[in-house]
Every structure is written in structure tokens, then in C-alpha cells.
């Protein structure tokens, strides 16, 4: 089976990223002569994360990359031999060495799809030993990706469509792989950009970033720029000495703001000048290294107005401490009065960015009507998912040799649904979502306009529904190891996620005490559940 030859291959999970019991079960299957029995597993979750009513499916691209590059190497087998019984038949390791996913078929929700409890995110079929070995890596690839995408979607819902959201969580992430996954799938979930350069290089995530407090505090004000001269934005006029122009503007700004010219920190101003000389078209001022009002703001204004004379426009300011909402309002008011005083209308709309441990509650403050914040940087709260650190996905056997399999436990919530299944989304005439329907794959698909008798999860009596539209949910992506259709780009999946969320009713999207979305079983599937659980047909 040919492996993908692209830069993303660097990110492929390795077959040994698994639990030991997958290898011990593989040996058990092989010894029992069942390694090649046809089997099917489903990957799903039992409850929506964050006490919400929806999740976003994510991680499919990583799963496909993993499946298409799956191959145990000699060093892998040498290690497995060291942890399995010493008398293990060498032919077992030869069997493992020959494995690839050329006999695997994968059906899945497209990335960015709305996902609900019990509905498979993935259906994986193939030889029993092989598809058992795939369990842990697939769970690892799907669970966190879907959790982060859902978390990002919640934050986007709070922020609304106008605020720009930037993910800044790489330094807070659970290791390098977690950082790359978080940056990738927070973008899919609705963020606009990431600080993570590797996510930009490998995944095409838009990257953004300017400067930190360390850059500013590294300057004392005694530094002399190597080349202080800056050409105009059009390049037509002679170059101008930027530090000298900034000094002249600082006197005017301080006089207007009622500050002594020596109050703004000279090192901060030198840092701003240095950054402006390097990035005249992308100058941003980080205002809170010393004092926002008495230093950061006047220094920024002096540099911004000096750049403005040359035809450049600053890209914004950033706040990283204090009451972000109040400071943004105060800064916007000063921008407006200074713009009027010096007749520079562009200053009124300079974007204001904020960061500093922003969680859902603080984000709601910053997104309220009247907020002057334009860009919000979020790190820890998006990448660590502090409200719920795991989605709790499971990977369960549903058939072997064409025969349904079902897990019966003392905990009814952990009971599985047997058999190879199909999943459909039923819609009303106005396009609103009614419910998701699970049925056996052998059943005829539901038809629009046809009355259906279904069993809602947990209901004691059946319900009837007449959908105006019916959408199949699971797409065939891999058949006998062959790619069936090109995967959408990350940008396309991001747009699909936003479209999917737009179809969900406000009652299901509300973040606290939402109305739960309904998932139903066909009568035939419910009858099979009752028969295999020993309860008979109701």
C-alpha cells in the first residue's frame, strides 16, 4: 500500500503508538486461527463534551494518513518480541511484518460534521487481527482532535462572527504533537489563525504573531539603529530618519495627552522604532510592558503617526494584562480624539488585540456589545480544554464474520449497539435538523416523505417521524486500502464545520443547559439489541 509522499507524512502516527494489549490480543487471534476473520469496529463517544449538545468530528485526515502509512518495521518487531512470551512462534512476527492496510475499509463522518452520542465517527472493517491493532492509534487521533475542534467551536459561538480569534496555546499544550493537533483543529473549529509556525508549514493554518514583552524590555533607549532611515510606502520620496520623526511626534502627542515628554519609557520607544523599521507595514504595539496610558500608548502613537506620515498604517495594538475590556474602551476613545486632533481618520479604527488567560467567561465579556476589542488571543483555554480534558471516545467490535457482536455489561451506558450500521440525518421541510437515525446496513435507506417508526435512545415507546429530507452521514473514504475520494482541505473542512453549526438550532447550540439532540434506532436495530441482550423482541 503506497504511503503519502508529502510534508504531512512527517506527522503520521506510528503503528507502535498503541497499548500492549493490542499486541497480546493479536497473538491470541493468530494462535486461534482467527487473524483473517472479517470484522468491523465502530469509533464513537457516549456523551457530548463540556455538558453541551454537540461535537465536531475531526481527525479523519490524520487517520487516513496513519492507515496509508501503516507498516511495522523490523525494530518494532524486535521490541514486541522482547515483551511477548519468549516462546512466541516466529511466524507470528512474520505475519505482523507483512501487515498493511490494503484490506481495510473505512467509512467516516466528514471532518467538521456535527456528531452526536452513539453515532459512529469511524467504521473500520478488515481482518480481525489488523483492525484490532488499529484501535488505540485511531482513538488517539480522533478523540483529542474532535475535543479541540468542539472547544474552539464553543469559543467561536461565544465570540460571535466578527471577532478574530487567534490560537496561542503551543507553549501550554500537552507536548509537541498535542500542540500541532490543537493548532490544526482549533482552526477547523472556527479560530482564524495560530501562532504555531509548524501548523502553518505542515497544515496550512494561517499564522500570526508580532512581538513579546521580552523584545521591548531588552531595549534601554540608548541603542542606535544600524540604519534609522525608512523609505515612504510608495518608495517615491527620499528616506526619512524614523527615530527623529518619532521624537517630534512624541512631543506633540505628550502635549496633547497632558504628559511630560520624559514619562514614556525610552526603551519601549526604541523597541517600537526597531520593530517599525523591520516591519513598517505590520507594526503592532504591545502596550503594557510598563504603563499603558503613560508609556505604551504615547510611544505607540508617536511611532504610528510617524509611520502614517510615510504612508504606512499600523496593524494594531495588544494588551496582555489588567481589565482588558475597560482598557480597550479607553484606548479606542483616545484613538478617536487623537485622530481628530491630528486629522488622521485611519487611527480611529486601529485594531485592538487582547490576550491573558482568556476563558469562556472572560471571552463573553470581551464579545459583549460595546466592546472595542477586535482580536482575541486564547491559549490555555483552547488547547488544554480545562472543562473536560478528554472526549471519551471508544472503539467497539460490532460484527465478526458477518455476525453481529454486542457488549453487555453491568453498566447500561456501556452497552454497545450490534451489527454493521448505516446512519442518516433527518430534516424538516424548513431544513432544521430533526434527529439522527441508526439502522442496520442491510435495511433500505429511509425516504423523504416516508413515515418512519423509530425508537429514541432511552425511550420506552416508539415515535413516528416523517422527514422532508434525508442525508446519509457516513462516507466511504477507504475501500480495501484504496482512497475513494480526495479528502477536503483543512480550509474546506473549516468552512463545512461553520456551515454545519449554522444548521443546528439555538436550543442545541446554547452552552449551558442545552436541549439534547435526539438519536434514534430503527425498529430492526432495536429488535436485534433486545434479542442479543436476552430481552426478546418487545
Question: Which pLDDT tens digit goes with each residue over 224-237?
Answer: 999 999 999 998 87
| Other C-beta atoms lying within 10 Å of the C-beta of residue 529 | 19
Secondary structure (3-state) at 22: helix
pLDDT at 190 over 90: yes
Q: Is residue 430 part of a domain?
A: no
Average pLDDT of the segment spanning 100-114: 98
The predicted pLDDT at position 151 comes to 98
> What Rg value do the Cα atoms of the chain yield, rounded?
29
Q: Is residue 461 part of a domain?
A: no
Q: What is the band of 2 on the pLDDT scale with cuts at 50, 70, 90?
A: very low
The predicted pLDDT at position 331 comes to 98
Cell of 92: 507470528
Q: Is residue 432 part of a domain?
A: no
148 shares its domain with 243:
no
348 shares its domain with 400:
no
Average pLDDT of the segment spanning 245-265: 98
146 shares its domain with 246:
no
**For residue range 62-90, what is the model confidence (pLDDT) as tens digits?**
999 999 999 999 999 999 999 999 999 99
Q: What percent of the chain has pLDDT over 70?
A: 97
**For residue range 394-433, what is the model confidence (pLDDT) as tens digits?**
999 999 999 999 998 778 788 899 999 999 999 999 999 9
Query: What is the bridge-based pairing of β-strands 433-440 and 519-522?
Result: parallel
298 shares its domain with 227:
yes
Order of strands, sheet of 519-522, starting from the edge strand that comes earlier in the sequence:
463-465, 452-456, 519-522, 433-440, 421-427, 469-472
15 shares its domain with 138:
yes
The answer to whether 253 and 305 have CB atoms below 8 angstroms apart is: yes
217 shares its domain with 350:
yes
Residue with cell 442496520: 440
The predicted pLDDT at position 13 comes to 86
Cell of 75: 525494530
Q: Is residue 500 part of a domain?
A: yes
Q: Is residue 385 part of a domain?
A: no
DSSP H helical segments within 310-464, as ranges? 324-342, 360-367, 380-383
Q: Is residue 50 part of a domain?
A: yes
The predicted pLDDT at position 535 comes to 66
Whole-angstrom Cα distance, residue 130 to residue 66? 13
Q: Is residue 327 part of a domain?
A: yes
Average pLDDT of the segment spanning 185-213: 97
The answer to whether 323 and 353 have CB atoms below 8 angstroms apart is: no
Q: What percent of the chain has pLDDT over 90?
A: 93
Secondary structure (3-state) at 348: helix
E strand or H helix that includes residue 213? helix 213-217
Which is nearest to 489 in space by CA: 178, 204, 208, 177?
Answer: 204
**For residue range 120-146, what is the model confidence (pLDDT) as tens digits?**
999 999 999 999 999 999 999 999 999
Whole-angstrom Cα distance, residue 420 to residue 347? 61
The predicted pLDDT at position 402 comes to 94
The answer to whether 390 and 143 have CB atoms below 8 angstroms apart is: yes
| Other C-beta atoms lying within 10 Å of the C-beta of residue 79 | 13
144 shares its domain with 243:
no
> How far does the chain reach from its first CA to its final CA, in angstroms?
47
Whole-angstrom Cα distance, residue 452 to residue 443? 13
Burial class (CB in 10 A: 0-12, 13-18, 19+), 475: middle
- CATH number of the domain bearing residue 335: 3.20.20
Q: What is the band of 4 on the pLDDT scale with cuts at 50, 70, 90?
A: very low
pLDDT at 5 over 80: no
**For residue range 323-356, what is the model confidence (pLDDT) as tens digits?**
999 999 999 999 999 999 999 999 999 999 999 9
Q: Is residue 320 part of a domain?
A: yes
- pLDDT, mean over the chain: 95
221 shares its domain with 306:
yes
132 shares its domain with 237:
no
Average pLDDT of the segment spanning 18-23: 97
237 shares its domain with 298:
yes
Average pLDDT of the segment spanning 280-286: 97
**For residue range 253-262, what is the model confidence (pLDDT) as tens digits?**
999 999 999 9
Identify any residues that bridge with 375 across adjacent strands, giving them in sequence order.
164, 353
Structural domain containing residue 407: 9-156+392-420+474-517
The predicted pLDDT at position 9 comes to 54
Whole-angstrom Cα distance, residue 150 to residue 179? 16
**For residue range 288-316, what is the model confidence (pLDDT) as tens digits?**
999 999 999 999 999 999 999 999 999 99
Whole-angstrom Cα distance, residue 292 to residue 318? 10
Which is nearest to 57 in space by CA: 147, 184, 180?
Answer: 147
Residue with cell 493479536: 26
342 shares its domain with 404:
no
pLDDT at 38 over 90: yes
Domain total in the chain: 2
- CATH number of the domain bearing residue 40: 3.20.140.10
Average pLDDT of the segment spanning 198-204: 96
Cell of 365: 465579556
330 shares its domain with 415:
no
Whole-angstrom Cα distance, residue 462 to residue 523? 8
**For residue range 173-182, what is the model confidence (pLDDT) as tens digits?**
999 999 999 9
The predicted pLDDT at position 1 comes to 47
Amino acid at each position: 500500500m503506497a504511503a503519502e509522499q508529502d510534508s504531512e507524512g512527517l506527522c503520521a502516527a506510528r503503528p507502535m503508538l498503541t497499548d500492549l494489549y493490542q499486541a497480546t490480543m493479536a497473538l491470541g487471534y493468530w494462535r486461534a486461527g482467527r487473524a483473517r476473520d472479517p470484522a468491523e469496529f465502530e469509533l464513537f463517544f457516549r456523551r457530548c463534551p463540556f455538558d453541551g449538545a454537540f461535537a465536531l468530528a475531526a481527525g479523519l485526515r490524520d487517520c487516513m494518513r496513519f492507515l496509508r502509512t501503516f507498516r511495522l518495521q523490523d525494530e518494532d518487531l524486535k521490541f514486541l518480541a522482547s515483551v511477548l512470551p519468549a516462546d512466541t512462534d516466529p511466524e507470528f512476527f512474520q505475519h505482523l511484518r507483512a501487515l498493511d492496510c490494503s484490506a481495510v475499509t473505512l467509512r467516516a463522518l466528514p471532518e467538521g460534521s456535527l456528531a452526536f452520542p452513539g453515532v459512529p465517527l469511524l467504521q473500520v472493517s478488515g481482518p480481525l487481527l489488523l483492525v484490532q491493532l488499529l484501535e488505540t492509534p485511531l482513538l488517539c487521533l480522533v478523540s483529542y482532535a474532535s475535543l479541540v475542534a468542539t472547544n474552539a467551536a464553543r469559543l467561536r459561538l461565544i465570540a460571535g462572527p466578527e471577532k478574530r480569534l487567534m490560537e496561542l496555546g503551543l507553549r501550554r499544550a500537552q507536548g509537541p504533537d498535542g500542540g500541532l493537533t490543537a493548532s490544526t483543529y482549533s482552526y477547523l473549529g472556527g479560530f482564524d489563525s495560530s501562532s504555531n509556525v509548524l501548523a502553518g508549514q505542515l497544515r496550512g493554518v494561517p499564522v500570526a504573531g508580532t512581538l513579546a514583552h521580552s523584545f521591548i524590555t531588552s531595549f534601554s533607549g540608548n541603542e542606535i539603529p544600524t540604519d534609522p532611515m525608512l523609505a515612504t510606502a510608495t518608495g517615491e520620496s527620499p528616506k526619512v530618519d524614523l527615530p527623529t520623526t518619532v521624537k517630534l511626534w512624541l512631543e506633540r502627542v505628550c502635549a496633547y495627552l497632558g504628559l511630560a515628554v520624559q514619562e514614556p519609557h525610552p526603551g519601549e520607544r526604541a523597541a517600537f522604532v526597531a520593530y517599525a523599521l523591520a516591519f513598517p507595514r505590520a507594526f503592532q504595539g504591545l502596550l503594557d510592558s510598563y504603563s499603558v496610558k503613560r508609556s505604551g500608548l504615547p510611544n505607540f502613537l508617536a511611532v504610528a503617526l510617524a509611520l502614517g506620515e510615510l504612508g504606512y498604517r499600523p496593524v494594531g495594538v495588544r494588551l496582555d494584562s489588567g481589565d482588558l475590556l475597560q482598557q480597550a474602551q479607553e484606548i479606542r476613545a483616545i484613538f478617536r480624539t487623537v485622530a481628530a486632533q491630528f486629522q488622521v481618520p485611519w487611527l480611529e479604527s486601529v485594531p485592538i488585540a487582547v490576550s491573558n488567560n482568556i476563558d469562556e467567561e472572560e471571552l463573553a465579556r470581551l464579545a459583549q456589545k460595546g466592546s472595542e476589542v477586535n482580536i482575541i488571543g486564547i491559549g490555555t483555554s483552547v488547547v488544554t480544554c480545562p472543562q473536560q480534558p478528554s472526549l471519551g471516545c471508544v472503539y467497539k467490535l460490532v460484527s465478526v464474520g458477518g455476525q453481529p457482536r454486542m457488549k453487555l455489561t453491568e453498566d447500561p451506558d456501556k452497552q454497545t449497539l450490534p451489527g454493521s450500521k448505516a446512519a442518516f440525518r433527518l430534516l424538516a421541510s424548513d431544513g432544521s435538523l430533526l434527529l439522527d437515525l441508526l439502522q442496520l446496513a442491510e435495511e433500505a435507506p429511509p425516504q423523504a416523505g416516508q413515515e418512519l417508526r423509530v425508537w429514541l435512545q432511552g425511550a420506552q415507546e416508539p415515535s413516528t417521524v416523517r422527514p422532508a429530507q434525508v442525508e446519509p452521514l457516513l462516507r466511504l473514504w477507504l475501500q480495501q486500502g484504496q482512497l475513494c475520494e480526495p479528502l477536503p482541505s483543512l480550509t474546506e473542512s473549516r468552512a463545512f464545520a461553520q456551515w454545519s453549526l449554522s444548521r443546528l438550532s439555538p436550543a442545541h447550540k446554547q452552552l449551558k443547559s442545552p436541549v439534547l439532540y435526539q438519536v434514534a434506532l430503527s425498529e430492526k436495530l432495536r429488535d436485534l439489541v433486545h434479542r442479543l441482550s436476552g430481552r426478546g423482541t418487545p
